[in-house]
Amino acid sequence: MTLPATEKVTGGSMKTIDKALFLLDFFLPDTPEWRLSDMARAAGMDKVTVMRILKSLAMKGIVEQHPETKKYRLGTAVLRLARIREACFPVVAVLHPVLEWLASETGETTHACLFSGSSMTTIAIAEPNRATRVFVDPAQPLPVYATASGLSYLAHARDAVVEETLARLTLRAYSGHTPVDMGTVRASLKVVQERGYAISSRTFEEDTTGIAAPVFDWHGNVLATIAAACVASRLTKEVEARIVAAVRQAAADATRAMGGDVTRTSGKRQQEMNA
């Protein structure tokens, strides 16, 4: 993750906790391990500060350091926290039956994602009862600009989140259809925002079309996304319309299950526009 100069932490302007949380965000599926000096450089922070923060986090098991490579990575304490959160206020367990329903309704692989800085992290997957389907790798981060999940998240996120995220992006062509200029990405976000769902065809993987819709929490903020990863070559306009309807239905069900208000499914961003 490289950040533009303006994102870097200069002097003591950021509070210590914010610095620690900022550093935690560097542990991503494609960069799960960091050498101290590389992280300090990427974060624009001095090495001593980064070392102190990582040592505090390591004391509690939030990160851990490999004894030989000396690299830092997330620690098992995050598994414990996730287990406590999920046991008391389930998200994955609530989304799972919705994904199962959507997989059987659409005949395609379905998944739910959370936002992770510049990509989406899959937290649950359901597979259809059908031989040909898209394989969704749970360890694979989904780039926000090249996937339906990412676009449907960003289109409904708060303006500050959108601008911060877009400023960080380095656009890269995953296929011949990936949007590689910021103008195209912004135009897509506008369309998705108006429609309330995203379709992203062959932009991340060849022969895969993603259809995704946002899940809102009790504040009306976008919390997660629900998507069907469809085999593109078998999507007729008619099938696509049927899947779009099912995805929107699933996202509304998930919003309700998470205590969100489905009458506000266009979310915070819509509210900001109306204000």
Binding residues for a second copy, rule: CB under 8 A, are: 15-18, 20-21, 24-25, 27-29, 32-33, 53, 56-57, 59-60, 62, 66-67, 73-89, 91-92, 114-116, 121-123, 138-139, 218-219, 223-224
In the complex, the smallest distance separating the C-beta of residue 159 from a second copy, rounded to whole angstroms, is 15
In the complex, the smallest distance separating the C-beta of residue 139 from a second copy, rounded to whole angstroms, is 4
The most distant pair of C-alpha atoms in the chain lies apart, rounded to whole Å, by: 59
Dist CA 256 CA 39 (whole Å) = 40
Report the residue number, 85 or 190, with the smaller CB distance to a second copy.
Answer: 85
Q: What are phi and psi of 116, to 5 degrees?
A: -130, 50
Report the residue number, 74 or 166, with the smaller CB distance to a second copy.
Answer: 74
- Residues 83 and 93 sit within 8 Å (Cβ to Cβ): no
Report the residue number, 77 or 171, with the smaller CB distance to a second copy.
Answer: 77
Of 205, 127, 192, the closest CA to residue 156 belongs to 192
Residue 138 token pair: 């749970």
In the complex, the smallest distance separating the C-beta of residue 121 from a second copy, rounded to whole angstroms, is 5
Report the residue number, 38 or 86, with the smaller CB distance to a second copy.
Answer: 86
Report the residue number, 20 or 39, with the smaller CB distance to a second copy.
Answer: 20
At a CB cut-off of 8 Å and minimum separation 6, what does 218 contact?
Answer: 258, 259, 260, 261
Report the residue number, 137 or 194, with the smaller CB distance to a second copy.
Answer: 137
Query: Residue 81: which H helix or E strand, with range?
Result: helix 77-88
In the complex, the smallest distance separating the C-beta of residue 73 from a second copy, rounded to whole angstroms, is 6
Written as one string, the DSSP assignment of 89-157 is S-SHHHHHHHHHHHHHHHSSEEEEEEE-SSEEEEEEEE--SSSS-----TTPPEETTTSHHHHHHHTTS
In the complex, the smallest distance separating the C-beta of residue 96 from a second copy, rounded to whole angstroms, is 13
In the complex, the smallest distance separating the C-beta of residue 66 from a second copy, rounded to whole angstroms, is 7
